[in-house]
């Protein structure tokens, strides 16, 4: 008998499983459920074996014959094709890519409340540079070379975060006996991205006005989503990740409220943010030009803005405006500093606006989310910026003093 596609397709199940074998020795097993799989039965060194070649129709008749022929060739050489297949699979599973993905799936997703940043490290930085290396051959210099490449693109702090992710993943492999030692254990952050110093950079009122007017002009070549993101962070002080991953089901236009789920906040607590008229107008404009479930989307208008898109846009803006160096996260610090220095908002209200956890000693504040005070602060700030942009405000120099509040804004 010689199998044909129609013959295999039309094989009907019985009450018990059965097998059909063609002259070449290739067999097909049919289960009572109707599932079919390709099998190869052979004898090697006086011992009988059964090898499963794959399931039909995932593996076609043509593919099954090719797999069967390859198995026969190995057997002729005295090699057990089953053992060889297991070895090939082991080698595939021995890569850095397999390790970090299995670590993410089996540990990070189950035990971390905010796993997305680590997933971004894996997809954007680790797999492209180290993914194909095997655990048996990877050396420390491979890792430092990959981290140096991140530093060279100006992301020193990010390089240290990727190093931390790698150390954790390799520790996982060591704990499972897949590695004898962690190849990243002796790499120091200060030798890669350097020691991270707390930043105190914030934009002055003049810089805010210059930036905002540039975003509103026709000179820039920035997408509307990115321009809106920069403005929303300035207006609300949210973290970039909280905005990037925001979805429309979190926005309540009727009540002018944005509710960020706990799993998306750094404090792991639900965060309610009042939408001032200025912020609400930006969300309304964004809503009118997208069908995505995400508020801020990339060029495909479907998936959220990537982690690197906003920093790249900020760099382009700086090149055009000549404003001293600032980052997307400095917009959050600007929000907090200006609320205190310019509007003289209560520091505790500002901490609540930022979503910071309050010290346990401040139990009264912990029980009171100060929603009305936060709403008033955000409305004041939105109105202030609107007046600033229309030049109705003569403001002080607001020079770069070291912030007296929230020096290390996270």
What's the distance, CA 380 to chain centroid? 34
164 in a domain, yes or no?
yes
For 64-73, 99-108, 309-318, which range has the lowest pLDDT when averaged over its residues? 309-318
The CATH number linked to 289 is: 1.10.443.10
Q: What is the mean pLDDT of residues 352-365?
A: 68
289 in a domain, yes or no?
yes
408 in a domain, yes or no?
no
CA–CA distance, 410 with 159 (Å, rounded to integer): 18
> How many Cβ atoms sit within 10 Å of the Cβ of residue 233?
22
Q: What is the mean pLDDT of residues 373-401?
A: 79
List all residues 6 or more positions away from 110 whose beta carbon is below 8 Å from its beta carbon.
none
What one-character-per-residue DSSP string does 111-163 give? H-S--HHHHHHIIIIIHHHHTTSBTTT--HHHHHHHHHHHHHTT-HHHHHHHH
285 in a domain, yes or no?
yes
**pLDDT tens-digit series, residues 16-69:** 999 999 988 899 999 999 999 999 999 998 899 999 999 999 999 999 999 999
DSSP 8-state symbol, 20: E
Predicted confidence band at 300 (pLDDT cuts at 50, 70, 90)? confident
For residues 173 and 310, membership in a common domain is answered with no
**pLDDT tens-digit series, residues 223-241:** 899 999 999 999 999 999 8
The pLDDT assigned to 196 comes to 60
Structural domain span for residue 359: 205-389
Do the beta carbons of residue 283 and residue 253 sit within 8 Å? Answer: yes
For residues 185 and 255, membership in a common domain is answered with no
For residues 249 and 341, membership in a common domain is answered with yes
For residues 136 and 88, membership in a common domain is answered with no
The pLDDT assigned to 32 comes to 94
The pLDDT assigned to 49 comes to 92
Do the beta carbons of residue 285 and residue 295 sit within 8 Å? Answer: no
pLDDT above 90: percentage of residues in the chain: 63
Do the beta carbons of residue 286 and residue 304 sit within 8 Å? Answer: no
| 360 pLDDT higher than 60 | no
Last residue of a domain, one of 34, 57, 92: 92
Predicted confidence band at 404 (pLDDT cuts at 50, 70, 90)? very low
CA–CA distance, 335 with 340 (Å, rounded to integer): 9
Predicted confidence band at 111 (pLDDT cuts at 50, 70, 90)? confident
pTM of the model: 0.58
Counted domains in the chain: 3
409 in a domain, yes or no?
no
For residues 133 and 84, membership in a common domain is answered with no
For residues 142 and 85, membership in a common domain is answered with no
For residues 70 and 210, membership in a common domain is answered with no
Q: Is 32 exposed, middle or buried (0-12, 13-18, 19+ CB in 10 A)?
A: exposed
395 in a domain, yes or no?
no
Do the beta carbons of residue 333 and residue 201 sit within 8 Å? Answer: yes
For residues 16 and 125, membership in a common domain is answered with no
More confident residue, 92 or 211: 211
List all residues 6 or more positions away from 331 whose beta carbon is below 8 Å from its beta carbon.
203, 230, 233, 234
353 in a domain, yes or no?
yes
List all residues 6 or more positions away from 290 whose beta carbon is below 8 Å from its beta carbon.
297, 301
Cis peptide before 57 (omega within 30 of 0): yes
For residues 40 and 179, membership in a common domain is answered with no
The CATH number linked to 160 is: 1.10.150.130
> How many Cβ atoms sit within 10 Å of the Cβ of residue 303?
12
Last residue of a domain, one of 57, 92, 127: 92
The pLDDT assigned to 362 comes to 52
The CATH number linked to 34 is: 3.30.160.390
DSSP 8-state symbol, 305: P
Of 97, 93, 85, which Cα lies nearest the Cα of 125? 97
Last residue of a domain, one of 166, 192, 218: 192
Q: What is the mean pLDDT of residues 245-274?
A: 91
More confident residue, 335 or 87: 335
170 in a domain, yes or no?
yes
Cβ burial 343-365 (10 Å sphere, 16+ → b, else e): eebeebbbbbbbbbebeeeeeee
For residues 68 and 120, membership in a common domain is answered with no
For residues 308 and 384, membership in a common domain is answered with yes
For residues 213 and 163, membership in a common domain is answered with no
- Alpha-carbon torsion, ordered 230, 234, 238, 244, to 10 deg: -10
């Amino acid at each position: 008998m010689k199998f044909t596609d129609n013959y295999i397709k039309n094989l009907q199940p019985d009450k018990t499983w059965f097998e059909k074998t063609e002259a070449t020795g290739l067999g097909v097993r049919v289960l009572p459920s109707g599932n079919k799989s390709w099998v190869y039965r052979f004898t090697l060194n006086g011992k009988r074996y059964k090898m499963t070649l794959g399931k039909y129709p995932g593996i076609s008749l043509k593919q099954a014959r090719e797999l069967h022929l390859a198995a026969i060739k190995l057997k002729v050489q005295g090699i057990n094709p089953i053992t060889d297949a297991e070895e090939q699979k082991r080698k595939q599973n021995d890569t850095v890519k397999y390790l970090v993905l299995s670590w993410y799936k089996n540990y990070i997703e189950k035990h971390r409340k905010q796993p997305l940043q680590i997933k971004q490290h894996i997809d954007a930085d680790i797999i492209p540079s180290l993914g194909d290396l095997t655990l048996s051959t990877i050396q420390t210099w491979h890792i430092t070379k990959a981290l140096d490449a991140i530093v060279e693109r100006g992301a020193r702090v990010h390089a240290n975060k990727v190093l931390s992710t790698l150390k954790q993943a390799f520790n996982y492999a060591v704990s499972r006996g897949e590695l004898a030692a962690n190849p990243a254990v002796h790499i120091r952050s200060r030798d890669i991205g350097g020691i991270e110093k707390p930043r105190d950079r914030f934009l002055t009122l003049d810089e805010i006005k210059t930036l905002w007017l540039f975003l509103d002009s026709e000179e820039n070549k920035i997408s509307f989503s990115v321009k809106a993101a920069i403005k929303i962070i300035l207006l609300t002080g949210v973290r970039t990740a909280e905005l990037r991953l925001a979805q429309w089901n979190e926005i309540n236009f009727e009540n002018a409220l944005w509710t960020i789920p706990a799993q998306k906040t750094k404090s792991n607590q639900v965060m309610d943010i009042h939408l001032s008229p200025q912020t609400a107008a930006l969300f309304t404009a964004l809503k009118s030009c997208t069908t995505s479930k995400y508020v801020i989307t990339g060029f495909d208008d479907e998936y959220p803005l990537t982690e690197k898109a906003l920093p790249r846009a900020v760099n382009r803006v700086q090149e055009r405006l000549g404003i001293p160096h600032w980052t997307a996260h400095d917009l959050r610090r600007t929000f907090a500093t200006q609320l205190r220095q310019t509007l003289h908002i209560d520091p505790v209200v500002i901490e609540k606006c930022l979503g910071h956890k309050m010290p346990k000693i401040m139990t009264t504040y912990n029980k009171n989310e100060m929603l009305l005070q936060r709403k008033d602060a955000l409305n004041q700030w939105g109105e202030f910026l609107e007046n600033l942009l229309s030049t109705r405000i003569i403001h002080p120099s607001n020079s770069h003093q070291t912030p007296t509040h929230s020096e290390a804004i996270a």
